[in-house]
Amino acid sequence: MPENLRKLTIAIDCDDVIVPTSSVLLNAYNRRHGTKIGLESFYSDSLWGADTPEKGTRRVDQLLKEGITAKVFPTPEAVEYIHRLSQDGHELHIVTGRQSYQEAETHRMLAEHFPNVFASVEHTNMYASGHAAALRRSKGAVCRMLGADVLVDDHVFHGREVLRHGVENVVIFGDYPWNISESLEAGMARCASWASTYLEVMRIAKSS
């Protein structure tokens, strides 16, 4: 760790921050169900071409349980800059909305592309339904438990939540339909790439 930088505890989301999951999931869903759902409707359309929101959720769950996300690899840029953050001496944690049944595939991906990089992997079961909903945890509560200084996430919703739980810095990652029109609060910074995310973390570490 360079002398002029503070060691940070950094929580990093997985899907659409490290791995480009949404487009792969949408393509598979559209092929199977004959729909034409686009990224702009990924979070705003609760039906996903089904009769009820519950049926749409079951369809998505089925694809996830079949391992569609296990076939999605991290972007080269994410690999490069996350390794840089680790080499700089920061403590890194995965804090993902993925469900518990995806833990094995998440750990396999991290072991292959980020060996010995992350101190922990936290699945918050954000979209769990039915009995599994009892497993849900807020990213704010998890980040507070970890003592996170920074959250890197593609959702402004999670950014607001962690700020309320005392995390002082949030990077809103990517240029996605679900975050580009959202207004940011104090403590948030928008970074379209991992290169700019790395620079923002460096700024935070220098100013701390």
Q: What is the CATH number of the domain that holds 184?
A: 3.40.50.1000
CB contact at 8 A, 126 and 133 = no
Does some domain include residue 4? Answer: no
The model's pTM is: 0.94
In whole numbers, what is the pLDDT of the chain averaged over residues? 93
Q: Over 70: is that where the pLDDT of 133 sits?
A: no
Q: Given pLDDT bands bounded at 50, 70 and 90, which one contains residue 44?
A: confident
Q: What is the pLDDT of residue 17?
A: 98
Virtual CA dihedral for 197, 138, 155, 122, nearest 10 degrees? Answer: 50
Per cent of the chain over pLDDT 70 is 95
Domain boundary among 38, 55, 71: 71
Q: Over 90: is that where the pLDDT of 134 sits?
A: no
56 and 132 fall within a common domain: no
Largest Cα span, the chain: 58
Q: Over 90: is that where the pLDDT of 129 sits?
A: no
- Cα–Cα distance, 185 to 131 (Å, whole number): 34
Phi, psi of 172 (to 5 degrees): -85, 110
